[in-house]
Structure 1
């Protein structure tokens, strides 16, 4: 990219960011101090999503679903918060998405890829073990649990709803820590959105609006907790059969010495006869 193109793109994106900030200030002019933290949290979430999370594919998918979940969660809790939290979050998210792009911070990291059959893709991550995937996934788990606990605190916190959060966390962890077949696991993942919509009706009847959101936050955090990147071998370490964990079966060559000797004798006997 030429320098002129870089400067023109930076000026354009900077103008878009300024427009988003102006729109946020105009929208939240009466509640600017209370809405500003949600704008900042949206921008920080975007930076985490697009600059740090991409090397782990599972965390990327979970955090993308988390964008919609947090937006719905803030929409549900706006009456308790008293500020336009959802709109501030979305404007901050868009501003952060533009600010974390190529013109300022360079190309975004790409998901890690591994060759088939090398044993590095046990968890669908390509980075089993190692410090970086543990830090990334641990940070994402902390963000999701913090959002779930915050929603629980602001909307009628009760012990049964907290138990739902803990139960969803355990269910998501068990599903990916002791995975069934791929088809069965994908079918079980559909339970999360279906259960979310079912719990919306249950929450309206029992007066617990936080119930569906708490369930989904816990399930998404559990999905990230149940992975081999916490305790699996580091990427690049020898895999079987080179690690010695599995013994290779050696193919035995069938040697028929007696038959070979007989053939050699027959050839030696036939050779003088041919000369005669």
Structure 2
């Protein structure tokens, strides 16, 4: 997370959200299987994060590892593509979808849960695969947490405890799959719109008063 995934802006944003989702998933597993996993998860994550933030060999021993955004040469802070970023995003998507499959298998594998998982994955993929405006896409992203909490109440009243988890994992995994180019010369490059390159209106600097007086005199 703190050494490799951080190189991809979109993958790191998704996976940092997934940290808390995995924690709640482990709580659900603990209730069913009696495995004390949530505390171990955060302990291991903390140790791994500290180890990933600093260099431990050669001249970089003890120094913090800084990851700077790559530039395309066009002047905008856009992330370039490449096989490395493609592998990072594919691995993160595999982890998220694997967690969704695990919930589906361990918690009542029914057709309804499978349909929610497939629909969430397809919806997340379509949201970042097809062009949308930046505001429209960010607005639709709010559907994921809202639907997650709605499915928690639905799961509490039915025999489908995996519904909220398969929904969230499927949507997040679909976002990573739909948000990148997976073939051709743009392999690994994120699909537009780029959040970091959203243009903001520039404020014009006020002219000095002396120049205003000269213009008025003319």
The alignment's C-alpha RMSD in Å is: 2.1
Verify: 1:202 aligned to 2:154, yes or no.
Answer: yes
Q: CA deviation at 1:109?
A: 5.0
Partner residue of 1:147? 99
**Aligned partner (choices 65, 83, 104) of residue 35 of structure 2:** 83
Verify: 1:230 aligned to 2:182, yes or no.
Answer: yes
Aligned residue-pair number = 182
Q: CA deviation at 1:134?
A: 1.1
Q: Go from structure 1 to structure 2 and tell me whether the alpha carbon gap of 1:111 and 1:169 turns closer, same or farther (over 3 Å shift).
A: farther
Q: Which stretches in structure 1 are left out of the alignment for 5+ residues?
A: 1-48, 236-276
In the aligned structure 2, how far is the partner of 1:85 from the partner of 1:54? 25
Q: CA deviation at 1:111?
A: 4.8
In the aligned structure 2, how far is the partner of 1:226 from the partner of 1:55? 18
Partner residue of 2:50? 98
- Normalised TM-score (structure 1): 0.61
Q: Deviations over 1:26-51 (max 9, x none)?
A: xxxxxxxxxxxxxxxxxxxxxxx111
Higher relative contact order (CA 8 A, sep 6+): 2
Partner residue of 2:190? none
Partner residue of 2:19? 67
Any conservation in 1 of the 2:71–2:77 contact (CA below 8 Å)? yes
**Aligned partner (choices 120, 123, 128) of residue 171 of structure 1:** 123
Any conservation in 1 of the 2:72–2:80 contact (CA below 8 Å)? no
Verify: 1:55 aligned to 2:55, yes or no.
Answer: no
Q: Which stretches in structure 2 are left out of the alignment for 5+ residues?
A: 188-218
- Normalised TM-score (structure 2): 0.76
Any conservation in 2 of the 1:133–1:229 contact (CA below 8 Å)? no
Q: What stretches of structure 1 move > 4 A for 4+ residues in a row?
A: 115-120
In the aligned structure 2, how far is the partner of 1:193 from the partner of 1:61? 15
